[in-house]
């Protein structure tokens, strides 16, 4: 394995040094190839996602395949614009110098993907790395082995395999990879591993983007959205159970609602869940399963806490063999229980009641900064408070998850939920070094710039720097001291 990594790195570095990946034409060819790969292999991709996670093909298309195709298409359409150097306006003091900023690829980058959206969380960063002109090594997650194998087998036959490589494996492979020097590391996963990645990157001063997670709260201000409550409930349900069964970094983790409305909310959630998954969600085919036994056991442990068990108001059934956990609703589980202190990443929805919805601000602030905050409210005051008093990667009002689809918005965390961002143009920037270029003129020269120093030059420069040009002129004419 060490040798494979060494050789791959060497080849990718040579490829980068050759300049091939710098050409816009090469980048576009790769992006087109990605689109083609997805189109040609739609069925296979849906198949591996079903094998790894029990994803329905519609969910697979919506969250992964379709997303990747759109992302690649956007990059294709915008690349010519993105690669154009940005002109900078220079202060008059520097005339006639000119300045601009060029986006330059970092070089050879490492993308470490995750298991819950193994296609999109692999290909989307890849799209960014390629658009920016890098060579890239992708390590897919071993916890989604079919998707990982598919990518390892299929990418080389579509993309330039001296520039874009795929490696399979788990923590042991990751450890080997992290010993090497990369020009950028892009990681999607848990905060715990994020810290390990960043520490490893520190050895080589490698910049990182860490897309992590957290507990994404959902505020339901029932006073102001009562007319649209059905929509609210639908969106929350879709956001919790409709996307990888709650195993998403931007999943609705828990709901905050006023005590007086809690039972009404629950009574609306129940039929909504049934409308999505029928009377027997296990057989519906529309609910993803838990990824593996380890995560199943983790979730079972969260649920089996006596205080948590007592709070179950809907669902709660589990089937370890089928890695199935029923869409479950909890009402006010103990706040110090594990389920309220770690990212759930599963189909269990705690509803936390408050006396007054305004308290949701303080509640959210007491926890690490999440990747997203969702708030169903039309109260402008509450909206302002949420925006200015809480901190999160993003805030979405009156919907959930959908910010992921808006590629004009940067997607990334803050604090425990991550460092850096991507999507759309931000993906391109994520994998680029913004290099400043300044050009001076050899035709004009200012004596005052050079030693030996004297008080004339000092005054001149002081005035020049202050851009006090009129005073400067007076000074030069001897009309000012």
Partner 1 sequence: MVKVFQAADATDLVTELRRSFDDGVTRGYEWRVTQLKKLLLICDNHEPEIVSALHDDLGKPELESSVYEVALLRNSINLAVKQLKDWMAPDKAKTSLTTFPASAEIVYEPLGVVLVISAWNYPFLLSIDPVIGAISAGNAVVLKPSELAPASSSLLAKLLEQYLDSSAVRVVEGAVTETTLLLEQKWDKIFYTGSSRIGRIIMMAAAKHLTPVVLELGGKSPVVIDSDTNLKITAKRIIAGKWGCNNGQACISPDYILTTKEFSPKVIDALKQELEAFYGKNPMESKDMSRIVNSNHFDRLSKMLEEKEVSDKIVYGGQKNRYKLKIAPTILVDVPLDSQIMSEEIFGPLLPIITLNNLEECFDVIRSRPKPLAAYLFTQNQKLKERFALTVSAGGIVVNDIAVHLAVPTLPFGGVGESGMGSYHGKFSFDAFSHKKAVLYKSFIGDAAIRYPPYSTGKLRLLKALVNSNILEIFRVISGLS
| Residue 451 touching partner 1 (CB under 8 A) | yes
Q: What is the token pair recorded at 323?
A: 């890695």
Q: Decide: helix, strand or coil at residue 435.
A: strand
Q: Least distance to partner 1 from the beta carbon of 184, Å?
A: 10
Q: Least distance to partner 1 from the beta carbon of 342, Å?
A: 16
Contact residue for partner 1 among 12, 21, 56, 329 (CB under 8 A): 56
**Residues between 67 and 86 with contacts to partner 1, criterion CB under 8 A:** 69-70
Question: How far apart are alpha carbons 6 and 254 in whole angstroms?
Answer: 44
- Catalytic, 249? Answer yes
Question: How far apart are alpha carbons 164 and 37 in whole angstroms?
Answer: 14
| Residue 418 touching partner 1 (CB under 8 A) | yes
Length of the chain: 481
Q: Decide: helix, strand or coil at residue 451.
A: coil
Contact residue for partner 1 among 335, 406, 473, 476 (CB under 8 A): 406
Considering CB under 8 A, how many residues would be counted as binding partner 1?
108
Site string for partner 1, 227-266 (x = CB under 8 A): -x--x--xx-xx--xx------------------------
Burial of 380 (0-12, 13-18, 19+ CB in 10 A): exposed
For residue 163, count other CB atoms closer than 10 A to its CB.
24
Question: How far apart are alpha carbons 439 and 448 in whole angstroms?
Answer: 20
Question: How far apart are alpha carbons 65 and 329 in whole angstroms?
Answer: 30
Contact residue for partner 1 among 83, 225, 313, 354 (CB under 8 A): 225
Site string for partner 1, 21-40 (x = CB under 8 A): -x------------------
Q: Least distance to partner 1 from the beta carbon of 305, Å?
A: 27
User: For residues 111 and 138, is the Cβ–Cβ distance under 8 A?
Assistant: yes
User: For residues 84 and 40, is the Cβ–Cβ distance under 8 A?
Assistant: no
| Residue 411 touching partner 1 (CB under 8 A) | yes
The DSSP output letter for 139 is E
| Residue 61 touching partner 1 (CB under 8 A) | yes
Question: How far apart are alpha carbons 176 and 441 in whole angstroms?
Answer: 49
Contact residue for partner 1 among 92, 306, 436, 478 (CB under 8 A): 436
**Residues between 365 and 404 with contacts to partner 1, criterion CB under 8 A:** 365, 387-388, 391-399, 402-403
Question: How far apart are alpha carbons 352 and 362 in whole angstroms?
Answer: 13
| Residue 278 touching partner 1 (CB under 8 A) | yes
Nearer to partner 1, 302 or 429 (CB): 429
Strand positions, DSSP E, 276-431 = 312-314, 318-319, 324-325, 328-331, 348-354, 372-376, 394-397, 418-419
Segment contacting partner 1 by CB under 8 A, of 88-96, 141-149, 311-319, 342-350: 88-96
Contact residue for partner 1 among 89, 321, 356, 478 (CB under 8 A): 89
| Dihedral pair phi/psi, residue 185, rounded to 5° | -125, 130
**Residues between 146 and 165 with contacts to partner 1, criterion CB under 8 A:** none
Question: How far apart are alpha carbons 52 and 205 in whole angstroms?
Answer: 35
Contact residue for partner 1 among 1, 4, 17, 310 (CB under 8 A): 17
**Residues between 171 and 210 with contacts to partner 1, criterion CB under 8 A:** 183, 191, 194-196, 198-199, 201-203, 205, 207, 210
- Catalytic, 211? Answer yes
| Residue 362 touching partner 1 (CB under 8 A) | no
Q: Which residues are catalytic?
A: 211, 249
């Amino acid at each position: 394995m060490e040798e494979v990594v060494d050789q791959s790195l060497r080849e990718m570095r040579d490829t980068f040094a050759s300049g091939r990946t710098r050409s816009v034409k090469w980048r576009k060819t790769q992006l087109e190839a990605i689109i083609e790969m997805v189109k040609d292999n739609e069925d296979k991709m849906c198949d591996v996602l079903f094998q790894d996670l029990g994803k329905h093909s519609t969910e697979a298309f919506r969250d992964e395949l379709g997303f990747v195709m759109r992302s690649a298409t956007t990059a294709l359409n915008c690349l010519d614009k993105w690669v154009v150097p940005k002109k900078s306006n220079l202060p008059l003091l520097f005339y006639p110098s000119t300045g601009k900023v060029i986006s330059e690829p970092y070089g050879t980058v490492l993308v470490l993907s995750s298991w819950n959206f193994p296609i999109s969380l692999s290909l989307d960063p890849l799209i960014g790395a390629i658009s920016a002109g890098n060579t890239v090594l992708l390590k897919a997650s071993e916890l989604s082995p079919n998707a990982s194998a598919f990518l390892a087998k299929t990418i080389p036959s579509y993309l330039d395999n001296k520039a874009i490589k795929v490696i399979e494996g788990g923590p042991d492979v990751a450890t080997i990879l992290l010993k090497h020097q990369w020009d950028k590391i892009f990681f999607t996963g848990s905060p715990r591993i994020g810290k390990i990645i960043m520490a490893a990157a520190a050895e080589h001063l490698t910049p990182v983007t860490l897309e992590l997670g957290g507990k994404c709260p959902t505020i339901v201000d029932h006073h102001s959205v009562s007319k649209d409550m059905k929509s609210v409930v639908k969106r929350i349900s879709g956001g919790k159970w409709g996307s990888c069964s709650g195993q998403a970094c931007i999943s609705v983790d828990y709901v905050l609602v006023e005590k007086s409305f809690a039972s009404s909310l629950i009574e609306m959630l129940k039929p909504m869940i049934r409308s999505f998954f029928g009377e027997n969600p296990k057989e519906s085919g529309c609910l993803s399963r838990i990824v593996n036994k380890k995560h199943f056991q983790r979730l079972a442990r969260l649920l089996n806490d006596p205080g948590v068990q007592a709070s179950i108001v809907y669902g709660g059934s589990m089937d370890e063999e089928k890695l199935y956990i029923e869409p479950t609703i909890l009402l006010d589980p103990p706040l110090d229980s594990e389920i309220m202190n770690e990212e759930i990443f599963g189909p269990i929805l705690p509803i936390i009641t408050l006396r007054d919805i305004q308290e949701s601000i303080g509640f959210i602030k007491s926890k690490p900064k999440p990747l997203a905050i969702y708030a169903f409210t039309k109260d402008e005051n509450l909206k302002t408070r949420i925006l200015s008093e809480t901190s999160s990667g993003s805030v979405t009002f009156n919907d959930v998850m959908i910010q992921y689809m808006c590629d004009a918005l940067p997607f990334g965390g803050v604090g425990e939920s991550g460092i850096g961002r991507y999507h759309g143009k931000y993906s391109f920037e994520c994998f680029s070094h913004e290099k400043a270029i300044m050009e001076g003129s050899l035709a004009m020269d200012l004596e005052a710039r050079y030693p030996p120093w004297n008080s004339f030059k000092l005054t001149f420069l002081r005035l020049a720097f202050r851009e006090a040009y009129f005073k400067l002129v007076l000074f030069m004419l001897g009309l000012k001291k």
